[in-house]
Structure 1
Amino acid sequence: MRVIVVDYHTEWPKLFEKECQKLAAIFKNELVDIHHIGSTSVEGLAAKPIIDILPVVKSIENVDALTVKMNEIGYEALGEFGIAGRRYFRKGENLRTHQIHVFQEDNHYDITRHLAVRDYLRVHSEKSKLYGDLKKKLANAFPDEIECYIDGKNLFVKALEEEALSWYEVKHRG
């Protein structure tokens, strides 16, 4: 997969909303909530042009029965794909357009860490700019090596997540 990082596009929230309608029709009563996450959810942040969506469901096991319907709208199901308790779907094998990260409503840790990073970057523009600049630099250095791109972001992302979780906890405590 080629690593491409672009400046923020104003259509990303619209693409999220459009996909939410499709997902809501599939998940129906199983769906508790649905969130736009990842870099495309942060206005002004450079990103790979892939819409990350986090549906929160009542029962993660019930999601497995929806695989055929997800395939029908272009998604490939990859199971947990490295995160216990998640169901991961991706659309577009070589030219990925969407990634779905489904979590059960009682998986507070994974849901919170995604929302914390998103919300933190939305209000801390200096950190968002640093992150965007790092991603652009890595994409230019490793355009055909996704693993090197990911490894290059790893320390920054781990520190960012820790910072964001602390900030989020304080923000939601009171």
Structure 2
Amino acid sequence: MSSHPTSAIPRRERGRALCVALWTKAVELVVLAKVRLQGGSLGKMDRWALGAIHALMLRQLERMRSLADVEGQRRGDVRARSGVHNAAVILCASDPAWRTEADREAELLRETLGARAEVHHIGSTAIERLAAKPIVDLAATLPADRFAAAFGETKAKLHALGYGYLGVRGGHFFEKAVASIRTHALQVHPAGSQILVELLGFRDALRADGVLRVDYEATKVALAAFFPGRRLFYVFYKSHWIDDWQWRHSRVPDWADWFLDQKRAQTLLARAAQSQR
């Protein structure tokens, strides 16, 4: 699925979308800094600010979907490929070869990380009949004791397979690329990670629910139209859409609390990695 037909989107609308994303990120950073200073608690205004920008992002997502020629871009399907340039956002029609490659890479990761490692195929390439960037997404879990004690060793083993470490993005994030062409993405979590449980839950929901799958694809196609060469903004909006779905299917009544819980979990992962450097 190509993201080429972008000329119909006015420049001012792209500018608006960029500003909303930057404003949202700025507010999130300010609130998180205040929470650290306040000993981890959310103040009333902080809670209001997070709720307000969450609502703003959802409205902007709907606006982009209404402006993008979603059906026209679906008609612009391209042959599936393997890998995509670092900055590009190219959606391709679902390809059975992605699952084959995921199975092959998962077996290699199990051999490298040990028998106690579990490897899951996640992301859009794990979903039949869903357009995706042609990058195989995987998630690996390690026993909690080994994860904390030998993260440096894990990084070295993955580096030998061609995975570069990019820090904490949900889990510990690794990426395999050849000449700036990204082919595989990998998250590493401790066993029992709630973040991974939520990722797998979203994957399974997409597999089971055709309406959700179509809704998600329409969102991705619209974002690809707005940000064909700005992957960070594409990912930021898409992640917010997924976060909203996960929050609405959680037992946490308030968005701000759910958001803060996610950030705390990521901070704990980052600290575990830093202790092994």
Structure 2-normalised TM-score? Answer: 0.54
Report what 1:71 is aligned to.
159
Q: How far apart in 2 are the matches of 1:95 and 1:105?
A: 30
Aligned length: 161
Are residue 110 (structure 1) and residue 195 (structure 2) matched? yes
Opposite residue 21 of structure 1, the aligned amino acid is E
Following superposition, the deviation at residue 64 of structure 1 comes to 2.3
Report what 2:207 is aligned to.
122
Report what 1:35 is aligned to.
120
Are residue 6 (structure 1) and residue 92 (structure 2) matched? yes
Report what 2:24 is aligned to.
none
Report what 2:242 is aligned to.
157
- CA shift in 2, pair 1:87/1:103, >3 Å: same
Report what 2:131 is aligned to.
46
CA contact (8 A) 1:6 1:136 kept: no
Q: How far apart in 2 are the matches of 1:88 and 1:152?
A: 19
Opposite residue 9 of structure 1, the aligned amino acid is D
- CA shift in 2, pair 1:151/1:29, >3 Å: closer
- Runs of 4+ aligned residues of structure 1 deviating over 4 Å after TM superposition are 163-166
Following superposition, the deviation at residue 154 of structure 1 comes to 4.2
Following superposition, the deviation at residue 5 of structure 1 comes to 1.2
- CA shift in 2, pair 1:43/1:24, >3 Å: same
Opposite residue 135 of structure 1, the aligned amino acid is K
Report what 1:170 is aligned to.
none
- CA shift in 2, pair 1:73/1:103, >3 Å: same
Which runs of 5 or more residues in structure 2 are unaligned? Answer: 1-86, 252-277
CA contact (8 A) 2:94 2:131 kept: yes
Are residue 134 (structure 1) and residue 219 (structure 2) matched? yes
CA contact (8 A) 1:37 1:115 kept: yes
Q: How far apart in 2 are the matches of 1:146 and 1:129?
A: 21
Which runs of 5 or more residues in structure 1 are unaligned? Answer: 167-174
Q: Deviations over 1:43-70 (max 9, x none)?
A: 1111111111111111323232032222
What SS class does the counterpart of residue 181 from structure 2 fall into?
Answer: coil
Identity within the alignment, %: 27
Structure 1-normalised TM-score? Answer: 0.83
CA contact (8 A) 1:120 1:164 kept: no
